[in-house]
Amino acid sequence: MTKRAARLFFFISTLVSALIFTVLTIDSHRQFPKLTNAAAIDERVIAGKHVWHRQNCTNCHTLLGEGAYYAPDLTKITTQRGAPYLREFLKDPSKFYSEARDGRLMPTLKMTDKEIEDVIAFLGWISRIDTQGWPPRPILVRGSAVPGVAAALGVPPGQAVSQDPIEQGRAAYNATPPGCAACHSVAPGVNIVGPSLAGISATATTRIKSPDYKGKAKDAAGYIRESIVEPNAHVLTGPTYAAGGRSLMPGDYGQTLKPEQIDQIVAYLLTLQ
Amino acid sequence: MRYQSQRVAYPYFVVALLLFGLQMAFGLLAAAKYLGPDPLLNVLPFDVVKAIHTNLLLVWLLTGFMGAAYYLVPEESRVELHSVRLAYVQLAIWTAMGVTAVVGYVFRWTAGNKLLEQPFPLKIVIVIVMLMFLYNLGMTIHAGGRLTTTEGVLVAGLACTALLYLPALFEFDNYTVSVFYRWWTVHLWVEGVWEMIQGSLLAFLLIRLSGVDREVLEKWLYVIVGLTFISGILGTAHHYYWIGVPRYWLPIGGFFSALEPFVFLAMAMYAYYAIRRSGFSHPNRMALHWTVGSAIFSALGAGLLGLAHTWPAVNKWTHGTLITPMHGHMAFFGAYVMIVLGMITYALPGLTGRSEDARETSANFWSFWLQITGMFGMTMAFAAAGITQTYLERILSLGYLETQLKLQVHFLMLVVAGIVFVIGVALFLWDFFFLAGRPVTVPARAEPTPARSPAV
């Protein structure tokens, strides 16, 4: 090869590559509105994006898998935890996590209520972007999809780090007794002996409105409480969920758990959006 | 060194190395935070430290490139630099920009966009500095009337660096679109036009150090840069897999970025070929070490470790884990840090008015090996952590926080290897500032030196 031929190779290959790249970029723009649900980008989402940047979130967290690797990925966080919980968390992360127990703690950012609402709206919009099936399995902040894995690896669920009812409830849910986590995963789509409780807050709200619903609950909190205390009030069908129209879940939690423990577990489960 | 005005490279190298040293402090701090607990949580949290660590890297490497270009262009075009004064003014503004950015991050003045955190006014300053720089180089080449392939590729790489920074000035309401164009700057810099810069510096150093025929090396430089763009431009797609873009970017990213290792392999073979022809006969043996080291380490870090997680079916599981910094650390070190240190080591005897073999280089020698060892250890620590994280967090769906607790031993190794690396960097700085001697002063208006017969 002569130097001239090498130069020609350089110019032509660069030009062709750049041309293909440009065409694909134009086509991507054509598809962005649908893939990213762009119609849903309102003032609040845009304001939330500014909060995301202003607070430098991306230099600890990842979003769409991009950013830093010091804190959890937040792409799907709003499909895992409800806005009320995220609001409480952002006001004071130390109510739910501690460096001593978890190794990491997010600093309190002193955001205004509006900033918090905005960034939650932004993350909500992000969660609905078509990411071509990523992540293939839910990325959890804490816990494990299959109960027991964390404990087996030597990372037990740990004591509550504050008196906050949600945090107390999380600890109680994972403790044995009562052993809720032995049968119910909180990861989406992971049904073990009992059904996954991911999104139970939203599921309960729709379920009580269904004509098939036989129980007495009026809202999601009531439904969850009823399911704990009186598992047969409304029975789900599933090979390991029920037999002969009776739930296979122990029926004595109303007696073995203290009333405030039930309140706390309900408060925790309500955060699972 | 043949031209007085080449000495303007010296203050650029001074700034570059000081910022390199500062980058190390923040790197060690960030690594220590992985081990936790963090006493500085509310004073200097991880995000600030990380932004400073990466921004200092970009700023000092660019400073090094600028110094290298000011050293290289007069020599290639056989003419004094157009304006030494402008080069000084440029350095002053650039340094002020860099320092302001770092101090700003501490006080949370940030654009919060990964690697492009520079607030908008500073971005404008960067554009102005780049224009001053390119003007000075352009006028120099124009005055010389001679444009070699080596400097042509270098200047084109620098000009494209400036051009590709422009998308960073725009803001998009759609986060996906903003990420899409962020990679036009970040990816097309480090896996595109910066490789032009690396390739041309490599060619320059190999021509000088090995004495292999310029025509041969420049011919292959074209081939390398051509391969860079075939794989690099469409290889941008490997950043697009999961961010809300059409599905066709997945196979495109997989295919073209799988070609990227060939670029680095070609560079390594290129250096090997040149050195095999001549042996380690050049008196500045340490410059040779850094030059060949850059070619080999970038083949490992950017080529092989990039390939390790670039295929969509693999990346689906590793995306957003510590596998990325595994690749990032060794790639940046091999491709850009080592070539800049090579350029500095090559230019230093001339800049300090000595003959090429007139100084003791054992500090530089130890610096080289400690940096190699430290970086290798850090890469291994990130690799072990990243693979474990992928299995525990992504495959077994263990929580992020529980997984991080299981990675502590690797973070410990990261800190230890980091300390070894930092000792290597400290030795380089010590050698540069205290052993190499003072620079020969530069007159603001350089008098042309009597023409000497060009060696090659």
What gap in Å lies between CA B186 and CA B114, rounded to an integer? 9
Note whether A53 contacts B317, CB cutoff 8 Å: no
Domain end: A136, A160, A178, which one?
A136
**A156 and A256 housed in the same domain:** yes
Residue B94 has pLDDT above 90, yes or no: yes
The distance of B438 to chain A (nearest Cα, Å) reads 40
Find chain B residues with C-beta within 8 A of A35's C-beta.
Answer: 176, 244-246
A72 and A159 share one domain? no
A136–chain B nearest CA distance, Å: 7
Same-domain status, A171 and A71: no
**Can you give the pLDDT at residue B445?**
53
Which residues lie closer than 8 Å to A113 by C-beta, 6 or more apart? none
Distance CA B431, CA B305 (A): 31
Tell if the CB–CB gap between A132 and B242 is shorter than 8 Å: yes
Binary contact (A10, B223; C-beta < 8 A) = yes
Q: Which residues of B touch A170 (CB under 8 A)?
A: none
pLDDT, mean of residues B407-435:
97
One domain, residues A180 and A261: yes
Among A55, A97, A187, select the one facing B397 at the smallest CB separation. A187
Which residues lie below 8 Å from residue B233, measured CB to CB, with a gap of 6+? A14, A17, A18, A20, A21, B188, B192, B256
pLDDT band at residue B357 using 50, 70 and 90 as cut-offs? low
Q: Which of A110, A136, A162 is the last residue of a domain?
A: A136
Q: A259 is written with which tokens?
A: 């009333």
Total tally of structural domains belonging to chain A: 2
pLDDT at A146: 84
The pLDDT-based confidence of B438 (bands split at 50, 70, 90) is confident
Say how far apart CA B229 and CA B180 lie, in whole Å.
18
DSSP calls for chain A: --HHHHHHHHHHHHHHHHHHHHHHHHHHHHHHHHHTTGGG--HHHHHHHHHHHHTTGGGTSEETTEE-SSS-B-TTHHHHB-HHHHHHHHH-GGGT--HHHHS--PPP----HHHHHHHHHHHHHHHTS--TT-SSSPPPSSSBSSTTHHHHTT------SSS-HHHHHHHHHHSTTT-HHHH---STT--SSSPP-TTHHHHHHHHHHSTT--S---SHHHHHHHHHH-TTSS----TTTEETTEE-S-S-HHHHS-HHHHHHHHHHHHTB-
Instruction: Please give the residue range of the domain that contains residue A239.
Output: 149-270
The pLDDT score that the predictor gives to residue B126 is 97
* Residue A106 near residue A93, CB atoms below 8 Å: yes
What pLDDT, on the 0 to 100 scale, is given for residue B451?
45
Chosen for mutation from A30, A56, A108, A111 (greatest number of chain B CBs closer than 10 Å) is A56
List the beta strands (DSSP E) in B65-204.
Answer: none
Q: Which residue in B110, B149, B175, B316 has the most chain A C-beta atoms within 10 A of its own C-beta, making it the best mutation to test that interface?
A: B175
Question: If you ran DSSP here, which 8-state letter would residue B41 be given?
Answer: T
Q: What is the pLDDT of residues B192-249, one digit of tens each?
A: 999 999 999 999 999 999 888 899 999 999 999 999 999 999 999 999 999 999 999 9
Residue of chain B whose alpha carbon sits nearest to that of A154: B406
Mean pLDDT of B73-98: 97
Do residue A164 and residue A262 come from a single domain? yes
Q: How far is A229 from chain B (nearest CA, A)?
A: 29
Residues facing A144 on adjacent strands: B398
- Work out the pLDDT band at B111, boundaries 50, 70, 90: very high
Q: Is residue A31 part of a domain?
A: no
pLDDT tens for B8-65 read 999 999 999 999 999 999 999 999 999 989 999 999 999 999 999 999 999 999 999 9
Q: Is the dihedral of CA B95, B96, B99, B105 positive or negative?
A: negative
The set of residues, in sequence order, having a beta carbon less than 8 Å from that of A192 and lying 6+ positions away, is A146, A147, A183, A184, A185
Quote the pLDDT of residue B442.
57
Q: Which residue has the tokens 């969660």?
A: A127
Query: Given an 8 Å threshold on Cβ–Cβ distance, is A60 in contact with B402?
Result: no
Mean pLDDT, chain B, integer: 93
Is residue B250 within 8 Å of B244, Cβ to Cβ? no
Instruction: Indicate which of A10, A36, A173 best probes the interface with B, i.e. most B CBs within 10 Å of its own CB.
Output: A10
- The answer on pLDDT for B443 being more than 70 is no
Which chain A residues are Cβ-neighbours of B404 within 8 angstroms?
103-104
Asked whether residue B159 carries a pLDDT value surpassing 90, the answer given is yes
Measured between beta carbons, the chain A residues lying within 8 angstroms of B247 are: 132
Both A177 and A238 in one domain: the answer is yes
Of A103, A136, A169, which one is at a domain's C-terminal end?
A136
Q: How far apart are CA A217 and CA A212, in angstroms?
A: 13
Alpha-carbon distance A34 to nearest alpha carbon in chain B (angstroms): 9
* Closest-CA distance of chain A to residue B207, Å: 16
Same domain, A164 and A251: yes
The rounded distance, in Å, linking the Cα atoms of B392 and B402 is 9
Q: Could you give the CA distance from residue B368 to residue B73 in angstroms, rounded to a whole number?
A: 27
Q: What per-residue confidence (pLDDT) applies to A157?
A: 82
Q: What is the longest distance spanned by two Cα atoms in chain B?
A: 71
Do A107 and A179 reside in the same domain of the chain? no
Residue B454: the pLDDT is: 45
Q: What is the rounded distance in angstroms from the CA atom of residue B393 to the CA atom of residue B53? A: 26
Q: With beta carbons under 8 A apart, name residues in chain A contacting B397.
A: 137-140, 144-146, 149, 187, 190
Mutation pick from A22, A59, A75 vs chain B, by most beta carbons of B within 10 Å, is A59
CB spacing of B229 vs A18 below 8 angstroms = yes
My answer on whether A159 and A260 are in the same domain is yes
Residue A166 forms part of a structural domain: yes
Are B110 and A56 a contacting pair at CB < 8 A?
yes
What burial class does residue B42 get, using C-beta atoms within 10 Å of its C-beta: 0-12 exposed, 13-18 middle, 19+ buried? exposed
Which of B227, B249, B401 has its CB closest to that of A141?
B401
At which residue do the structure tokens 């908008």 appear? B120
| pLDDT confidence tier of residue B355, bands split at 50, 70 and 90 | confident
CA dist., res. A76 & res. A123, Å (int): 8
Considering the domain architecture, whether residues A77 and A181 belong to the same structural domain is answered as no
Residue A98: closest C-alpha in chain B: B37
ipTM exceeding cut-off 0.90 for this assembly: yes
Rounded to whole angstroms, the Cα distance separating B30 from B408 reads 14
Residue in B closest to A36 by C-alpha: B244
* Shortest CA gap A121–chain B (Å): 13
Does residue B359 register a pLDDT over 90?
A: no
**Residue B401 and residue A187: Cβ atoms within 8 Å?**
no
Answer for the pair B31, B421: CB distance below 8 angstroms, yes or no: no
- Chain A residues within an 8 Å CB radius of B314: none
Would you place residue B444 in the very low, low, confident or very high pLDDT band (cuts 50, 70, 90)?
A: low
DSSP assigned state of B5? G
Beta strand pairing status for A242-243 and A62-63?
A: unpaired
Q: Are residues A170 and A122 in the same domain?
A: no
Higher pLDDT pick, B329 / A158: B329
Stretch B341-358: mean pLDDT = 86
Residues A68 and A58 sit within 8 Å (Cβ to Cβ): yes
Helix (H, G, I), strand (E, B) or coil at B398: strand
pLDDT higher than 80, residue B449? no
pLDDT category at B277 given cuts 50, 70, 90 is confident
Partners of A81 in the beta sheet?
A272
Give me the amino acid identity at A76.
K
A153 vs B392: CA distance, rounded Å: 10
- CB distance B320–A132 less than 8 Å? no
CA distances from A38 to A32, A49, A54, A126, B126 (A): 7, 14, 22, 10, 32
**Cα–Cα distance for residue pair A141/B318, rounded to 1 Å:** 17
How many Å apart are CA B134 and CA B83, to the nearest integer? 12
For chain A, residues with pLDDT lower than 50 are: none
Count the Cβ atoms, other than its own, within 10 Å of residue B160. Answer: 17
Statement to judge: residues A195 and A249 lie in one domain: yes
Query: What is the average per-residue pLDDT within B337-352?
Result: 95
Residue of A nearest to B217 (CA): A3
Residue A199 to residue B179: CA distance in whole angstroms: 29
pLDDT of B271 strictly over 70: yes
CB within 8 Å of A39: residues ≥ 6 apart: A33
pLDDT score of B358 = 58
Q: Which one-letter DSSP state was computed for residue B393? A: I
Beta-bridge partner residues of A63: A66
Q: Is residue A7 one of the residues assigned to a domain?
A: no
| A227 within a domain of the structure (yes/no) | yes
- As its CATH architecture, domain B4-435 has Up-down Bundle (1.20)
How many other CB atoms are there within 10 angstroms of residue B62's CB atom?
Answer: 26
A32-83 per-position pLDDT tens digit: 999 999 999 999 999 999 999 999 999 999 999 999 999 999 999 999 999 9
Distance CA B371, CA B375 (A): 6
Any domain includes A4: no
Task: Choose among A70, A99, A129: nearest Cβ to B37.
Answer: A99
pTM: 0.93
Q: What is the CATH number of the domain that holds A116?
A: 1.10.760.10
The greatest distance separating any two alpha carbons of chain A, rounded to the nearest whole angstrom, comes to 88
